[in-house]
Every structure is written in structure tokens, then in C-alpha cells.
Amino acid sequence: MSALEPQAATPAPARSAGAGVSTSAKRRRHYSLLNRRDKVLLALMVGLPLAIFLVLIWAMAIVSIVLSFTDWQGYGSLHFIGLQNYIYLFQSYPAFWPALSHNLIWLLVFVCFATPMGILLAVCLDRPLRGSFIYQSIFFTPVVLSLAVVGFIWELQYSPLAGNGFIDSVLASTGLMSPNSTPDWLGDPSINIWAVLVAASWRHIGYIMVLYLAGLKSVDPSLREAAAIDGANERQAFFHVVFPVMAPINVVIVVVTVIESLRAFDIAYIINHGKNGLELLSTLITNNSISEASLIGFGSSIAVVLLVISLVPIVLYLSRVMRSEEQ
Amino acid sequence: MAGQRTAHNRARRRLSRVGLHLFLIVLAIIFLWPLVYAVYMSLRPYGEIVANPTGPFSLPATLNLDNYFAVWNAENIPGYFWNTAVITIPSVVLTLWIASMVAFGIAKYSWRLNLLVLMIFTAGNLLPPQVIIVPLYRLYLLIPVPAPLSDNGLMYDQFLGLILIHTTFQTGFCTFVLSNYMKTLSKELVEAAMIDGAGVFTIYWRVILPLCRPALAALGTLLFVWIYNDFFWALMLFKSGDKRPITAALNNLSGAFFTDPTQLAALSVIAAVPTIVLYLILQRNFVRGLTLGSTKG
């Protein structure tokens, strides 16, 4: 990694004599062509944005951790209370475990349904097929919509009969259900998370499809030809040849899927501010600390839980980037 | 015998092809349905739906644009679009400019720390925004901002504050993508320019940036849609409803039209049209922007 260290260890006379400098001089050629003004400029170009990023993103994450050990409510001095926020969160706060399990359900639905569906569509659309581009455009359209708009569009489907929701109107007018027993898809806390997940999957499938399709296009076609010559059918070729070479993309897909389910916020917020069956870690944070109450310390402890969970996919991703960088 | 088998195979392949099309067509209809239905609802007079015993399942007697006129006249829609433009356009331009500088510094000069810098940006971009929102919200209430840039002396409830967080957050992603892109450009170009005596800024501005134009176009399209679609930051960092961009304003407006789903549909369509149009025009750019980040590096 560093060309500088061995050189620093070399005695000064040897360096001035020019013996053994050739390798490090070669590596350092960039530096020798830069004058001082260029170096300062370069440091500013990278350093200033880096400083702003560190302050607004990483420092805020650290401040969240610090605040989670306090009972701060937005005024006065900080009063540290140890682990009390966490104890209350895990043992007594009624919304915490539902929220965590909803995030988990979200992740499971994405992992078991939406992501495989996106991959399946990508595999279907990767082969020469008439109208492939039109199919791709249709499946991808939900991805360009704001999640707030997605929430509204699906509310039109899910509203109760009295609100003229489409699904309930169909159920009632076709006689499949009596008008009194049509479900309140978004209001009933035992089913609304699933209704929301249909809307979220609607958007996630297209996203994964496009990412995976790009990965498939980058696979060397001769690999598949070789597999075909060896007598592999399409399914065998995909699982034994294409899927393994796609390892880097597969990591991206896993990371995107996990991160998207941890970030889930907008649709739940649009529908009922993330309550009554739609609690998520993200909505608990904002409801406790910004929108409705000012329990900064307590809200921060929820943020720390979310931070710790999201570090898993982030570390996974970084280790992959590191590995590819070393090669 | 052999001919029979190939004929059999061909028939089977055609059958599977028909099956595939059938599957894709059914799925495409399911995917389009919520959108088509929103447009259809927005064109129907609400009174007609209420009067009909089968509600929205009934066949329409009239379709017109009245719901759009009603929404447009009741709310300051152009104002919300203006807010969106004031936030989105500077954020996109600043993000591309800053990210390209950082990526240039990282990719074109081998520093000891450049991998660390890249990781700080990339990992930060992956954090859920809710992890940092509480301290950021308090910070925005503390930072003093002088008058021409802020009308309340703070960073909170200001366009500037929103542009700042969008630019910072998205710089993480764009730096990653652009530095990977720049690594694929030839090193000789930079070295030749250096030997000709070009300074760092000249190399960045005259040599590297023009070569990155395809990547910048792709990222610009993607960023525009992302920032336009942002709901979270605008909801949390604005107090005044009339400063919110169109997507976050939907949250307030939904209350006003709660009793009339046809007007709510019209509002959703209005908010969705700009990104859909942009996507239809610049589809390839958009998809390229998304995939640049995942297929290289």
C-alpha cells in the first residue's frame, strides 16, 4: 500500500546517491510532477467535501450513539443515564418489538419474494425475446415513482369499501364477500403490513431486475456457449456457470435488499405515520424525537439499534470492495 | 428419427416461448394496473362513483379533467414544483461537481489514504438516513445562517439546508461510481497533460471531466429522479408546508383531499408525471446510472 515507508527507512546518504531509489521513484512519479500549488488544490478538492461528509454523516451517527445514553429532550445540559434508554426500549416500550419484527418481515418478503422475482425477470428478459425492452420498461416504471406517490396509488386500491377502494369494491360487487365483511387492508393491524409489502415489492422487483440484468449482460457470452457445448441446459448453465461468475453483483443485490428494508419509511409514513400495525424502526425514531415528541435520547437509542443492524450489510459490502480493490 | 426429434424440440421451444410471453404479459398487466387505475380514477367525477352501487367498479359515464382543475385551483401546485426545482437542480449540479472532484483526487493520484476516503463515502451513503436524522435536525436548529441565505437565521426550514444534505449524502454514491469510471480511463492522458505542464485543475477540467460526460449524464438523470422523489429529508427538515417540494407536500395535501379519492388520484398523477416523462425520454441514461455503480468495482 505505501511506497513511502521503506524509503523512510533508507539512510539519507544512500538516497542522495541514487542507489535503490529506482522502484520508489517510479511509484512516486505523480508526486514529483506536482508543484506545491497543485498539491494544495488537490488536498482541498478531496479534503473539503470529505470534511463536510464526515461532519454531516459520520459525526451525526456518533452523536446519535452519545445521545442514546442521555435523557436529553432538546433543552438544558446533557444528563447521562447509562443504559436506561435501552433497558426501557427492550423491556417496556410496546412498539419496539413489533417494529423490529416488521422490519424483519419486510426483509424476509424482499429476500424470499421480491428479490428472487426481480432476478427471475432479469433472467427471462436477458435472452433474445421480442418486446424485451417494452417489458423491461413496464417493470421498471414503479422505480421512478416517489414512494409517497406509490403510497397514494396503492391507497386507491386498498381503501375500505366506504372509501371506494378498488379491491373491496370488486369483492363486494362480485359477491365474493358481503359488503360488511370486506377487509380494511390498510387499517387492520393484522394485515396492513402485508398490504404495504405488496406495494413495496411492486417497486423493489423492477429495481433488482435492472441491476441484475446489467450484471447478466456483463457475463462473458463464451462462458454460456461453452456450457451449452458441454450439454448443460439453460437452468444448469445459469446455476452452475452464470450465477457463480456473478458473485460481485450478487453481493450488491444482497446489500441493496437489506438496506432497502432497513430504510423502509415513506409508504408506512404516508399511510398512517407508521402506527397501528405499520411500526418500523425508522418511524419510531422520527415519531419519538422529531414529529410528535422530543425524546431525543430515547429516539437516539432506536437509531443506534438501526445503525448496528445496518452495519452488517455495510461491512459485507466494504469487505467486497476492499477485496476487488486489492486485486 | 433425428429429424423427428429436432422438430419435437422446436415445437417444445416454441411452446415454452409462448408460455414465457404469457407469463410476462400477465405480470406486465399486474404491474401497470395500479398506475392505469390511478389515471382512470383521476378522470372520473367522484359524484358518479358515489351514486353507483358498484362504486369504482362501475363503468364510467363521463371522463374529464375536472379533478385536475380542482386540485390545481385549490392548491399552489406551481409553487410546490418551484420548490422542487429550487432544491433539486442545485443539488444535482453541486453533487456532480463535488463528487467528480473527489473521485478525480482519489482515482488519478495514488494516495495512501484513498481507499479509506472511498470507504468513508461509500459506507456513509449506505446508512439509513433515519440513523442520523435526530442529531442532524438538532444541528440544523443550531447552525446560524446569515440573512440572504436564510429567512429565519437558521439552517432548519431552509432550501439551503436541504440542498446541503442532499448534496452531501449523494456525493457518497457518486464519488464511488465516478472513481470507478475514472479508473477505466487511460493514465497516459493525464501523464501526457502533466508533461505538457498542465496544472491539476486544468487536467481535471479539460481532460478528465469531458471524458466522464457519459457517466455524468447517467448519474445526473438518476440524481434528478432520486432528489425529486425525496420525501424523508423534506418532511423532517422543513417546518413550513409552503416550502416543501411537491412529493413532501403530498403528505399535507392528502388531508385536504381525503374525502375525494379522485382528486387524490389527480394529485398523485401530477406529482408522478415529471419523473415518468424524464424516464421515458432518458431511459438508457437512467438505467446506466443505476448499473454503473453495481457492475464496475
C-alpha closest to that of A317 among A259, A264, A260: A259
Q: Are B181 and B257 in contact (CB under 8 A)?
A: no
B77 to chain A, closest Cα gap in Å: 15
Where is the domain boundary, B67, B102, B124? B67
Where is the domain boundary, B24, B47, B67? B67
Task: Give chain A positions within 8 Å (CB) of B135.
Answer: 59-60, 63-64, 67, 300
Least confident of A81-90, A100-109, B185-194: B185-194
Grouped pLDDT means (10 residues each) for chain B, 297 residues: 67 83 95 94 88 79 89 89 96 96 84 84 93 94 87 90 96 90 84 84 90 92 93 90 87 74 91 93 84 61
Q: B49 and B113: one domain?
A: no
A309 to chain B, closest Cα gap in Å: 10
Least confident of A7-16, A46-55, B279-288: A7-16
Q: B13 and B115: one domain?
A: no
A197 to chain B, closest Cα gap in Å: 14
Interchain pair B38, A153: CB under 8 A: yes
Q: Are B131 and A303 in contact (CB under 8 A)?
A: yes
Strand partners, A80: A70
Q: B151 and B184: one domain?
A: yes
- Which pLDDT does position B201 carry in this prediction? 87
- Which pLDDT does position A111 carry in this prediction? 96
For chain A, percent of residues with pLDDT exceeding 70: 89
Q: B127 and B210: one domain?
A: yes
Q: Measured between alpha carbons, how far is B288 from B172 in angstroms, rounded to an integer? A: 18
Task: Give chain A positions within 8 Å (CB) of B126.
Answer: 255, 259, 310, 313-314, 317
Q: Measured between alpha carbons, how far is A304 from A74 in angstroms, rounded to an integer? A: 18
What value does the mean pLDDT of chain A take? Answer: 85
Q: B93 and B50: one domain?
A: no
C-alpha closest to that of A143 among B206, B291, B70: B291
pLDDT tens digits, B98-130: 999 999 988 877 767 788 898 999 999 999 999
- Which pLDDT does position A16 carry in this prediction? 38
Strand partners, B154: B144
Q: B24 and B99: one domain?
A: no
Q: Which amino acid is at B88?
A: T
- Which pLDDT does position A128 carry in this prediction? 83
pLDDT tens digits, B57-113: 778 888 889 999 988 888 889 999 999 999 999 999 999 999 999 999 888 777 677
- Sorting pLDDT into bands at 50, 70 and 90, what band is A9? very low
Task: Give chain B positions within 8 Å (CB) of A140.
Answer: 279, 287
**Measured torsion, CA atoms of residues B201, B202, B205, B209, in degrees rounded to the nearest 10:** -110
Task: Give chain A positions within 8 Å (CB) of B128.
Answer: 259, 262-263, 282, 306, 310
A289 or A324, which is more confident:
A289
C-alpha closest to that of A201 among A265, A102, A280, A107: A107
Domain with CATH 1.10.3720.10 in chain A: 96-278
Q: B29 and B161: one domain?
A: no
Q: B43 and B86: one domain?
A: no
Chain B contact probe: residue of A146, A159, A286, A321 with most B CBs at under 10 A: A146
C-alpha closest to that of A165 among A173, A174, A175, A157: A157
pLDDT tens digits, A126-144: 888 888 889 999 999 999 9
The CATH number of the domain holding residue B190 is 1.10.3720.10
- Which pLDDT does position B297 carry in this prediction? 33
Chain B residue with Cα closest to A207: B290
B243 to chain A, closest Cα gap in Å: 17
- Which pLDDT does position A97 carry in this prediction? 96
Q: Are A156 and B37 in contact (CB under 8 A)?
A: yes
- Which pLDDT does position B253 carry in this prediction? 76
The DSSP annotation for B74-140 comes to HS-HHHHHHHHHHHHHHHHHHHHHHHHHHHHHHHHS--TTHHHHHHHHHHHHHS-HHHHHHHHHHHH
Q: B25 and B102: one domain?
A: no
Instruction: Name the residue facing A63 among B53, B135, B204 (closest C-beta).
Output: B135
Q: Is the pLDDT assigned to residue A12 strictly greater than 60? A: no
- Residue A118 has phi, psi (to 5 degrees) of -60, -40
Q: B59 and B94: one domain?
A: no
Task: Kindly tell me the burial class for residue A267, based on how many C-beta atoms sit within 10 Å of its own C-beta (0-12, 13-18, 19 or more).
Answer: buried
- Which pLDDT does position A258 carry in this prediction? 94
**pTM of the prediction?**
0.88
Where is the domain boundary, B67, B99, B114? B67
- Sorting pLDDT into bands at 50, 70 and 90, what band is A223? confident
Q: B60 and B81: one domain?
A: no
Chain A residue with Cα closest to B127: A310
C-alpha cell at A158: 386498498
- Which pLDDT does position A23 carry in this prediction? 46
B225 to chain A, closest Cα gap in Å: 7
- Which pLDDT does position A33 carry in this prediction? 61
Query: Containing domain of residue B32, as a range?
Result: 2-67
B119 touches chain A (CB under 8 A): yes
The yes/no answer to whether this complex scores an ipTM above 0.95 is no
Q: B129 and B270: one domain?
A: yes
Task: Give chain B positions within 8 Å (CB) of A164.
Answer: 49-50, 55-56, 261
pLDDT tens digits, A254-280: 999 999 999 999 999 988 888 889 999
**What is the CATH T-level fold of the domain A96-278, as seen in this structure?**
MetI-like fold (1.10.3720)
Question: In total, how many domains does chain B have?
Answer: 2
Map residue B154 onto helix, strand or coil: strand
